[in-house]
């Protein structure tokens, strides 16, 4: 059985305020400003607005599947 990838989402409302969801030991950490959420994860990543650290393969699979968009939408709903 394959291990499920883990992603931590960080949405910054301002320089000092951000909402974080996901494990601290996640394979990928994605960060975006709340004002850039309307772009969608794929466009934001290509424009350099969505920052990511960690395993690139996991990130690209999550972007392609829409997992990043769903995760960011869930986090943004808590803003």
Instruction: Break the chain into its structural domains and give their ranges.
Output: 8-76
pLDDT tens, position by position, 14-36: 888 999 999 999 999 999 999 99
Choosing among 3.20.20.140, 3.30.1050.10, 3.30.565.10, 1.20.1050.10, the CATH entry for 8-76 is 3.30.1050.10
Beta bridge partners of 14: 17
Concatenated DSSP letters of the chain: -PPPP-EEEEEEEETTEEEEES-TT-SEEEEEEGGGGGG-HHHHHHTT-SEEEE-HHHHHHHHHHTHHHHHHHHHHTT-
Q: What percent of the chain has pLDDT over 70?
A: 95
pLDDT of residue 5: 72
């Amino acid at each position: 059985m394959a291990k499920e990838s883990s992603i931590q989402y960080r949405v910054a409302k301002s320089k000092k305020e951000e909402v974080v969801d996901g494990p601290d030991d996640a394979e990928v950490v994605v960060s975006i400003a709340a004002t850039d959420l309307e772009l969608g994860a794929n466009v934001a990543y290509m424009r350099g607005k969505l920052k990511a650290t960690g395993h690139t393969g996991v990130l690209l699979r999550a972007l392609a599947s829409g997992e990043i968009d769903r995760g960011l939408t869930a986090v943004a709903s808590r803003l």
